Structure 1
Amino acid sequence: MSSSQPSALPAFSLNIAPLRSYLLRLPLFTRAVLLFIVAFWLLELQSVWDVVTWGAIIPDESNFAALYRLNTYPVIHRGFFHALLNAAALTPLLERFEAEHGTLTALLLFVGPLSTFPGALYIIVEKFILHNNTAVVGASVWVFLLLASESIKTFRTNPYFQVGTLKVPTWTTPLFVSFVVAVLLSNTSFLGHVCGIIFGYLLGLGYLKIFVPPEKILRFIEGKLNLLGRLPHYVSVDQKTHGRYGVLPTTSSGESGVAMSSYIGSSQRLGP
């Protein structure tokens, strides 16, 4: 007589190999942004220095000495989950942008106009029009900016999507998403998201390319400094995959996707 034992249940295992492989392939500037987000979150764990107050955009403290805030606010977050959600939303968008336009172009744009212009617009509207003093931080300003830029490219090839009997322009998608986020998630800055969306539209339409030197100059800088040879995961001008600024061929089609946190005033934030 033979005896049999019940077979063991298969053990649950989480395969993180695809995620690890994806993270290891991230280009240089995207890695640097994620590193800054993590570093500033770690700094928030101590109580000696208030990192959020130091780096947030605070309209009433907008002066020459506080200009650095126009660059620090996108990489500072309020707590672990705020940083995690924004980093998860930003990574694929920023990685794609850098792969399409190159590391040097991404650096010049995101350290320059894609941070400072939305921040400056937010200060103007919040302080001088709404007369509020709501401070904001968070990478969701970049998330909505990149979504808006992508929606312009989508609009060129697929101008509308159908909602029942309505034909809705595809470029309105980030506006709809920002509205849903504002309704479903508390303490989010709808104004901050809209400021990002506005400059995302300008980026997608090509109006911000004047802030980046011509490719000839970029190639000279890359060659002179040997950036491709010296910097791992660097994407050169000649390695970009889809053309500068993502301009796609225009086709007609008749029928035819967070958060600045606030710590002053009403305590808002951008995104989840």
Structure 2
Amino acid sequence: MAAPRITTNNLSLPLPTRLINISRLRSYLFRLPLFTRLILLAIVAFWVLELQSVWSVIQWGSLTPKEIGFGSMYRLNTFALIHTGFWHMLLDTVCLIPLLERFEAEWGTLNSLALFMGPLGQIPAGIYLLLDGVILRDNTPVLGASIWVFLLLASEAIKTYKTNPYIEISGYKIPTWISPLAILVVTSVLIPNASFLGHLSGCITGYVWGLGYIRFLAPPERVLRWIEGKLNLLGRLPHYVSVDQKTYGRYGVLPSSSTSGPGEHVSPIGLGWVGGASGQRLGP
């Protein structure tokens, strides 16, 4: 007598499991480059720290105009990594990771580290402090990674504009570079406590970066190559992305042919920003 065949029915799986291809998601996460992984880890770590009630991570690390001083300049870097809750953290992260991965694949790990811990992190923070603290004389704290989401969206919009300046809708030609601003307005209307000024600061920085006006702030490639060679970063660090993509490939000496193409990047669809009871958030 033949052994009975064992079959599986996808309908027996929980709804989230049926809607999400777990194996493809796991494969995607395992292919993330190094800096993107570190940012993801830092965001999750700060969220876990916020679960305790002894010390408020939000009060410690949020970007609050009147709290900025020589002893609290760290807030210019920490505010984008801290979120107000699980859903704020999750949705900001889902929007950020595909964009940040793409940026790191283009610019390299060392460049990404230097830029986002430097000018691409601190310039939008400075713009927000100018708009909220100096011009409006307000003191609204903000935090959340969606300020980087808008920065990267604006930068990508400039790239798109150079190759495809307009999209035509009902006979009207709409500039493609305006799409991040449209998302900014929709986000501000639909998501409670979303920071219009915080997202606008990210957009401004992204446009300026995309147009090339602050590209000089990127570290010299000669220096980065010297550091990579001196420390043998390609050999020592898994998923490290060399500054010289043409020579080493996306993931260093042994590039993978299964790397996702541009068409496989997830498109960000929702954004927002920080806050507590008196603050605003960058993310839903």
TM-score using structure 2 length: 0.85
Out of 126, 131, 144, the position equivalent to 2:137 is 131
Aligned to 1:131, what secondary structure does the other structure show? Answer: coil
Out of 40, 51, 54, the position equivalent to 2:60 is 54
What stretches of structure 2 of length at least 5 have no aligned partner?
A: 1-6, 251-268
The share of aligned pairs that are identical, in percent, is: 57
Residue aligning to 2:12: 12
Query: Are the equivalent residues in 1 in contact too, given 2:66–2:133 (CA < 8 A)?
Result: yes
Equivalence map 1:48-197=2 (5 Å)? 48-197=54-203
Runs of 4+ in structure 1 deviating by more than 6 angstroms, as ranges, are: none
Aligned to 1:161, what secondary structure does the other structure show? Answer: strand
How big is each residue's C-alpha offset from its partner over 1:147-202, in whole Å with a ceiling of 9 and x where there is no partner? 00000000000001112122111101000001000011111001100000001011
CA distance in 1, matches of 2:61, 2:97: 21
Query: Are the equivalent residues in 2 in contact too, given 1:133–1:264 (CA < 8 A)?
Result: no
Q: Aligned AA for 2:33?
A: P
Output the aligned Cα RMSD: 1.7
CA distance in 2, matches of 1:167, 1:74: 35
Residue aligning to 1:262: 275
CA distance in 2, matches of 1:197, 1:154: 15
Of 205-214 and 97-106, deviating more is: 205-214
Query: Are the equivalent residues in 2 in contact too, given 1:141–1:192 (CA < 8 A)?
Result: yes
CA distance in 1, matches of 2:217, 2:170: 41
Q: Aligned AA for 1:261?
A: V
Aligned to 1:167, what secondary structure does the other structure show? Answer: strand
Q: Aligned AA for 2:276?
A: Y
Residue aligning to 1:4: none
Of 149-158 and 214-223, deviating more is: 214-223
Aligned to 2:168, what secondary structure does the other structure show? Answer: strand
What stretches of structure 1 of length at least 5 have no aligned partner?
A: 1-6, 243-256
Residue aligning to 1:3: none
The Cα of 1:9 is off from its aligned counterpart by: 5.9
Q: Aligned AA for 1:269?
A: R
